[in-house]
Structure 1
Amino acid sequence: MKILYLETSSKNCSVAISDNEKLLCLCEEVSENYKQSESLHTFVEWVLEGAGISMKDIQAVSLGKGPGSYTGLRIGAASAKGFCYGLKIPLIAVNSLESMMEPFLGKNYDYIVPLVDARRMEVYTAIYDGNTGEEIAATEAKILDEHSFTEFADKKIIFVGDGAKKAKEILQLPNAEFNESIYPSAQYLIKKTLEKIEKKDVEDIAYFEPFYLKDFHGVKKKKSED
């Protein structure tokens, strides 16, 4: 089963194709300017070419549904739904934090904590068991302070994601590790996507919305004075 994966929730615009669990091609780029609107469809063309297949060979689309960048999620969701409508194939949606946790499973950590940078001292986060990947604490928007995660002070824990930088400066956890270079990536959606397909856990394309976690607050421009 050939599956197209889109992950646009962060600064990393990431696209992949797998044949069941085998990764065929990956194309991604981290940009401070959030290049999803410019790059996403080009990356889709590149991974199709790299995998040696065409769009009509794709049998499902998997989307990193967030939380993360509001604009990035809108772009990814619109593209995923468009592909699914056009090809009449299912849409699978996976929590983007799970793709950040995946590379660290089975690496002798008690807990893996993705941290997606939000505003000021806020992060989007969840807590996962370091061996099984089981969700220990549900996804939430959390304000970091020196008391955050202190219940895990005696555990081997790793914080991953661009929010780990500010966490490292404030958290009082002697056994913690921090990896600031991790972003949600399409290549790490494969395992969870196949599990969802097995369970027939697919989205209703007409009503699907990304996992924004919080309402979008736009900045109103001030009216210029005459």
Structure 2
Amino acid sequence: MPTLLLSLETSSPICSVALHELGSGNLLGQSELRLEKSHSSHLSVLINQLLDNTGHALADLAAVAVSDGPGSYTGLRIGAAAAKGLCYALDIPLLAVGTLPSLAHQVASSTAWPEQFLYCPMLDARRQEVYAALYTHTGQEVLAPTPLILNPDTLAEQLTHHSVLFFGSGAAKFQPLAAGKPRAAFRAGVAPSAVAVGELALAAYHRQEFRDVAYYEPFYLKEVYTTTSKSEMVRGEK
């Protein structure tokens, strides 16, 4: 009987996979590559290697979880396609876990006295913009995922009443703007992980919060815009 949960995290340049036991919640193994644009060529390899290294096969999977976004448009598409393909081929359920709540869970679970903070994951969205949200240490959503333009007044109201811990790829851009705000704290080196995705997906599995394999799309948060190069515009005018 299949008893394993495979989790995929491809929302950032890090390509990460993890394997948990559904019953006990034990982490059996994890693997990741920190290479730019490695997802399309290495994700399947990482999955197969992880299963081989833990002595398991695809047939042992009871469900697949994927990072839902926001994040890299291309990375999210690759992760979603891989997860949907596995779920369809194996006839098993699909789970999707938000990138921001999984980051918050990752940090809160490793913070001493976690109830002292609100948790603000920030993902770099280029220039002075980030994707951000706010959560309590138990994962309760205080501010839904949203694009934020960073300035000295960003989240000023929340910082008036709460100590807020900032982290993720976009937090470094906010740190100099938050200088002088005693309730703002920062933690460096926090990156999306398939382990955190899997930990949240375990609970979602038991609640049967499954996604439709045929119609699932990642949560991009913002529309994706494409541009036309000048050379293409010139050719089009001829």
TM normalised by structure 2 equals: 0.89
CA shift digits 1:43-74 (9 cap, x unpaired): 11111112210111111000011000000000
2:199 is matched with 191
Instruction: Decide whether the 8 Å contact of 1:153 with 1:174 is kept in 2.
Output: no
User: How many Å apart are 1:154 and its aligned residue?
Assistant: 5.0
Pair 1:139-2:145 in alignment: yes
1:26 is matched with 30
Instruction: Decide whether the 8 Å contact of 2:68 with 2:76 is kept in 1.
Output: yes
CA shift digits 1:163-221 (9 cap, x unpaired): 01101121242232212321111000123212211221100011100001111112322
Instruction: Decide whether the 8 Å contact of 2:7 with 2:195 is kept in 1.
Output: yes
Q: Which runs of 5+ in 2 are unaligned?
A: none
Match of 1:216 among 214, 224, 235: 224
CA shift digits 1:81-140 (9 cap, x unpaired): 00000000000001011221112225334201000000211111110013x121111111
1:161 is matched with 168
1:122 is matched with 129
Structure (1/2) with the larger helix percentage = 2
1:8 is matched with 10
Aligned-partner residue type, residue 99 of structure 1: S
Percent identical across equivalent pairs? 38
> What is the CA–CA distance in structure 2 between the aligned matches of 1:73 and 1:127, rounded to whole Å?
22
Q: Which moved more, 1:100-109 or 1:22-31?
A: 100-109
Q: Highest Rg: 1 or 2? A: 2
3-state DSSP of counterpart to 1:66:
coil
Instruction: Decide whether the 8 Å contact of 1:9 with 1:70 is kept in 2.
Output: yes
TM normalised by structure 1 equals: 0.93
| Cα RMSD after superposing both structures | 1.6
Give the count of matched residue pairs. 224
CA shift digits 1:122-162 (9 cap, x unpaired): 111110013x1211111111111100111214532211101
Instruction: Decide whether the 8 Å contact of 2:18 with 2:198 is kept in 1.
Output: no
> What is the CA–CA distance in structure 1 between the aligned matches of 2:102 and 2:56, rounded to whole Å?
25
